[in-house]
Structure 1
Amino acid sequence: MQLPSSSNAPEGARDERFDGLVRMARRHFGVRAALLTTGNRGLQQVCACDGWTLVDPLPDGHLPLFHVTQTDALLVVPDIHRDEHLRNHDLVKVLPGLRFLAACSLPGADGALFGVLYLLHDQPRDLDVEQHQGLRDLAELAAGVLVREESDRRELERLQESERRLAPAIAGSGTGIWDRNAVTGEIHYSTGWKALLGYADHEVGNRIEESYTRVHPDDLAYVQATIQAHFERRTEAYEVEHRLRCRDGSYKWVCSRGKVVERDEFGKPLRMVGTTTDITAMRALSEKMQQTAALMTDLTNEIPGMVFQYRRRLDGHSYFSYVSAGVREIYGLTPEQLEQSADALHAIIHPDDLALYLGSLETSARDLKPWHLEYRVQLPGCGASWRQGDARPRPLADGSVLWHGFITDITERKLIEAELQVFATTDSLTQLSNRRHFMQQLESELARVQRSVGYCAAILMFDLDHFKSINDRWGHSVGDLALRHFSAILCAQLRRTDAAGRMGGEEFAVALSNASVGEAMIFAQRVQQELDRTPLPHGDERLALAVSVGIATIHPTDVSAEATLSRSDMALYRAKRGGRNRIECH
């Protein structure tokens, strides 16, 4: 059956998935035609149809929609010729053989009407109670898909709006974005990236060979080796601190981060995107990672999922009366495995989440409130992955509860959230807290000192001695190794309640909870002794390292963590001035 589409109706309503649904409806109920419309109460557009074909088009609004204006409404007209409202309707004029009509609304969120599912036949007939329920079930299944599509559309709009808000911040943050084709060698830079080095938009080419000419000669091999390691999947991401030549010939220290986002079937990298940030002014690492937000929008464009109908009886037995083919991708199961019992699904839900999963369904059934849950599943050979479930419950006459809903895979989103959390709080080189996160930890320690009588704590500042000479003599790659080496020694001395962070360059800080100055002195001595016993291995040589330490007590009268830190910093200055490899207390 072909029906007209109003120009004011929503665009893109036609969906091949609904073709199968109306075909199934026509065959199941044994009628001549079935069709599905979408839209509001005033304008309906045909989304899918199967059966009769209209000879003449109908004018807008001439579907028998005035009978079905409320959500969850069901209209059955056994014989149109005997119905005073419909027997002279335009629909009958263009389909003179039409005798039977049934229509069920597609319930949307908050009482909205998404559309109507119609059954049409050329003989008078009626529907029994079971067929009424079957028509309602099909309508709710179609509505569930439409509700999910509307939710996805709103989420995409939210992400796009977030991207638009971030654009001005990117332009003024001192960070540039690049996008590299790993096959052709083309690399494209944002306007902000070029401005970072003082170039106009037209003054930078798009070849990787040219980009390498701007890298400081002493850093080039290190940069290329780091990129190659990521290409070969020996690292999770590309990240390196190096120097870039500006337009005026001077060099600027930058942090370059990137990741391969596309690979071919053999694992060969195809595309790599990333950022370059000016770290001359010691930018906080978390501020740089905000630039990745724009790269995440594509991850939610096409989310595979599973449409389902789930039933829970009064005796507690549950099963899926319908699941779409997506069940194989979402759960690694077949529809047949779930049509008698949900036990096969319960077996793959993460043990730590199973009680939460079952409890959330119990609450939804008791309160008849929408079900929403994020939980983990364990698929064979895949480890743990995340799923999100959304469904609407409906009580049935026999006391059971029926849900219509949708399951999506949100593993990528969860991984990105965890990665962003690490990037926002961690120094990438040493894996210690970055300055911002450490200062938050120090504020928390100060608050404990201020509210607990008799509680004491100490703050220590560490500075690697002669670090500049290590960089100058051995290169920055060895300097990075020295920083990691010291960080490992420092972490080995920490208790679970202590906090350590890299404050910038070769400076580190430690907050010792429930510790006096004397205990802090012992801690600092242990670090110095371990550093002296463990020189840095470099080829056939062992490089001796030393560190100066400044110690201060965290006072209840300190107005801020910065005030506390400044005292240990002054003590550190005295240690450096007094000959280095010393410990001074404020």
Structure 2
Amino acid sequence: MQCNETDTAREQWLALAVAGSGTGIWDRNVVTGEIRYSAGWKAILGYDDDELTTRIEDAYERLHPDDRDYVQAAMRDHFEGRTESYEVEHRIRCKDGRYKWICSRGKVTSRDSEGRALRMVGTTTDITSIREMAERLRETVGLITNLTNEVPGLVFQCSRQPDGRMAFPYVSAGIADIYELAPETVARNAACIEALVHPEDLETYRASFVQSAASLAPWHLEYRVCLPKQGLRWRQGDAKPQRLPDGSTVWHGFITDITERKRIESELQELATTDGLTRLPNRRHFMSCLEAHFAYLRRTNGLPAAVLMFDLDNFKAINDRWGHAVGDEALRHFAGILQMELRTADMAGRLGGEEFAVLLTLADAAGACLVGQRIQRRLASQLLSHGRETIPLTVSIGVTELRMDDADSEAALSRSDQALYCAKKNGRNRIECA
């Protein structure tokens, strides 16, 4: 008696558990084609206990037309022993005409002596809400993917393992433009990206990720890449890092093409620092460089340097006789001579009008005078012509050294200007030192 009460209780617990899970039970007689459903199974589709037939044909009619062949094929595979069990997800028509998604699982429980299926028992679970949630998730993922693919540049997820290996598990379609690569080429290894980074920027590129990973500071870098089709391009990367439990670091961010911005910045820098007529540094830029070199010499007690001031002789007479266009050509002509005579470490600038200045590194006053003489000789030998006429050009030069006891670099420029005044006063086409 006690045993029967226990069995009854277990059956009740099982029935309650099945009912509470939104699951129904079915029992199919394969030979007669009958299928019986539990009350919970019928409730899933909105039927009362006495409203469904036991005909398997009626069961197939409730299947969504697009799912019918698939469900019947899965059933045959199990009947014929090709699968261990029967499990399918499909749509089924409810009493009110709507379709629900269900998951049906079953297994043949008896076969005849030849292995033919006789009876099959299984369960059906309503998975409509799960499928709807999955569909919403797919739509959301699709929307996000479409949005990121439309964003100019590259949206990415980058991972760095503790041993330094890097990969880009997710990249948007922009990788085709930013790196001329396909997403699958960087999913497991980012070496192909490093191969595109300009050699002069590669160490900085690598170090930027190391530093960001160490401090978890945002990653920001402007760097160059050399692409097979686009050639040399500028890229800017920005991303936020996150440390994972396994010690790896993950960044989420974007990379954009800043080539045009860099070109404009370069042009603006040139306009701000270059004399438009001669293409030499203008007065402001020359003075800035002179002051920087003076400060460097003071810090390092470096080797001597000299400043030369140049003034084209009788320049007003050239403008008056041949016109300002020829005067401009004379200025360009002299600027070219300066550049030919100077070393890479030296610097020439146009201070204004017909006045020029040169900073000679590693040179004392005597050495500067020799350079000035070479410039005068080249100016005398490389004549400027206008039509059939030859325009005589000479230049007066003032020379001084940068002195560590000067208050600033302006003091040296002032001395060279005084020496230049003496050269002009004493007959022009001369070099004077101060």
Q: 517, 521, 530: which is aligned to 2:365?
A: 517
What corresponds to 1:472 in structure 2? 320
What corresponds to 2:180 in structure 1? 332
Alpha carbons 1:450, 1:557 under 8 Å: kept: no
Structure 1 distance, partners of 2:395, 2:212, is 60
Deviations 1:363-384 (A, max 9, x none): 4445444322222111123221
What corresponds to 2:266 in structure 1? 418
Deviations 1:362-409 (A, max 9, x none): 444454443222221111232211111222334456665443221111
What corresponds to 1:550 in structure 2? 398
Structure 2 distance, partners of 1:515, 1:336, is 58
Q: Given the two structures, how large is their TM-score scaled by the length of structure 2?
A: 0.60
Deviations 1:58-78 (A, max 9, x none): xxxxxxxxxxxxxxxxxxxxx
Structure 1 distance, partners of 2:196, 2:297, is 47
Deviations 1:136-165 (A, max 9, x none): xx78x969x89xxxxxxxxxxxxxxxxxxx
Structure 1 distance, partners of 2:297, 2:245, is 62
Report the Cα offset of residue 327 of structure 1. 1.7
Distance 1:364 1:436, change over 3 A: closer
Report the Cα offset of residue 503 of structure 1. 0.9
What corresponds to 1:572 in structure 2? 420
Q: 169, 180, 190: which is aligned to 1:321?
A: 169
Report the Cα offset of residue 303 of structure 1. 7.9
* 1:384-533 matched pairs, under 5 angstroms: 384-396=232-244, 400-447=248-295, 456-533=304-381
Alpha carbons 1:303, 1:408 under 8 Å: kept: no
Structure 2 distance, partners of 1:495, 1:558, is 25
**Structure 1 letter corresponding to 2:368:** A
Matched position secondary structure for 2:308: strand
Structure 2 distance, partners of 1:563, 1:410, is 42
Alpha carbons 1:459, 1:553 under 8 Å: kept: yes
**Structure 2 letter corresponding to 1:546:** T
Sequence identity percentage:
54
Structure 1 distance, partners of 2:369, 2:299, is 25
Report the Cα offset of residue 332 of structure 1. 1.7
Structure 1 distance, partners of 2:244, 2:340, is 61
**Structure 2 letter corresponding to 1:487:** A
Structure 2 distance, partners of 1:510, 1:413, is 32
* 1:129-208 matched pairs, under 5 angstroms: none
* 1:337-376 matched pairs, under 5 angstroms: 337-376=185-224
Matched position secondary structure for 1:518: helix
| RCO comparison, higher one (Cα < 8 Å, 6+) | 2
Matched position secondary structure for 1:377: strand
Structure 2 distance, partners of 1:427, 1:389, is 34
Distance 1:566 1:389, change over 3 A: closer
Report the Cα offset of residue 442 of structure 1. 3.0
**Structure 2 letter corresponding to 1:381:** K
Report the Cα offset of residue 460 of structure 1. 2.0
Distance 1:346 1:532, change over 3 A: same
Matched position secondary structure for 2:181: coil
Distance 1:317 1:538, change over 3 A: same
Report the Cα offset of residue 317 of structure 1. 4.9
Matched position secondary structure for 1:348: coil
Report the Cα offset of residue 524 of structure 1. 1.6
Matched position secondary structure for 1:478: helix
Report the Cα offset of residue 359 of structure 1. 3.5
Structure 2 distance, partners of 1:400, 1:552, is 60
Alpha carbons 1:449, 1:555 under 8 Å: kept: no
Structure 1 distance, partners of 2:299, 2:248, is 54
Structure 1 distance, partners of 2:230, 2:208, is 25
Alpha carbons 1:323, 1:335 under 8 Å: kept: yes
Distance 1:403 1:456, change over 3 A: closer
Report the Cα offset of residue 505 of structure 1. 0.7
